[in-house]
Chains A and B, each alone.
Chain A
Amino acid sequence: MQRASLTVVAGAAIVAAGVALATLRLNPYLYFAGYVILQYVVIATAWNILGGYAGYVNFGTPAFFALGAYTAVALIRSLHAPLPVLILAGGLVSALLGLGIGYLTLRLRGTFFSIATLALSVVLQTMIINWEYVGGSRGISVIRPPGPPFGNYVVFLFTVMLALAVIAVTVARLIERSWVGRGLAALRDNEEAAECMGVPTLRLKLFATTVSGFLLGVAGAPFPYYVTFVEPNSAFNLDYAVNALAMPMIGGTTSWVGPVIGAILLGSAQQLATVTISSELNLFIVGVVLVGFVVLAPEGLLGLVRRLRGR
Chain B
Amino acid sequence: MAAPLLEVEGVVKRFGGFTALNRVTLEVRAGERFGLIGPNGSGKTTLINCVAGSLRADEGRIRLAGQDITTLPPHRRTRLGIARSFQIPKPFTSMTVRENLEIPLEYAGHARHGGAAEAADILREIGLHAKAHLRPAGLTQIEMRKLELARAMAARPKLLISDEAMAGLSSAEVDDILAILFRLSAQGITIIMIEHIMRAVMRFSERIVVLDAGERIAEGTPAEIVRHPAVEKAYLGE
Contact = CB atoms under 8 A, between A and B. Distances in A.
A198 B103 CA distance: 8
B90 A193 contact: yes
Interface string A120-133: 00000000000000
A182 interface: yes
Contacts, number: 75
Interface residues of B, number: 27
Q: Which of A189, A194, A195, A198 has the most CB of B within 10 A?
A: A198
Contacts of A179: 106-107
B184 interface: no
Contacts of A201: 75
Interface of B: 52-54, 73-75, 78-79, 83-84, 86, 90-95, 102-104, 106-109, 151, 154-155
Nearest to B52: A196
Contact of B75 (A182, A198, A254): A198
Contacts of B90: 190, 192-193
B107 A199 contact: yes
Contacts of A185: 92, 94-95
A296 interface: no
Nearest to B54: A192
Contacts of B92: 185-186, 189-190, 193-194
A267 B165 CA distance: 50
Interface residues of A, number: 20
Contact of A198 (B91, B93, B107): B107
29 contacts: A179-B106, A182-B103, A185-B94, A185-B95, A189-B92, A189-B93, A189-B94, A190-B90, A190-B93, A193-B90, A193-B92, A193-B151, A195-B73, A195-B74, A196-B75, A196-B78, A196-B86, A197-B75, A197-B83, A197-B104, A197-B151, A198-B79, A198-B103, A198-B104, A199-B103, A199-B107, A200-B75, A201-B75, A254-B94
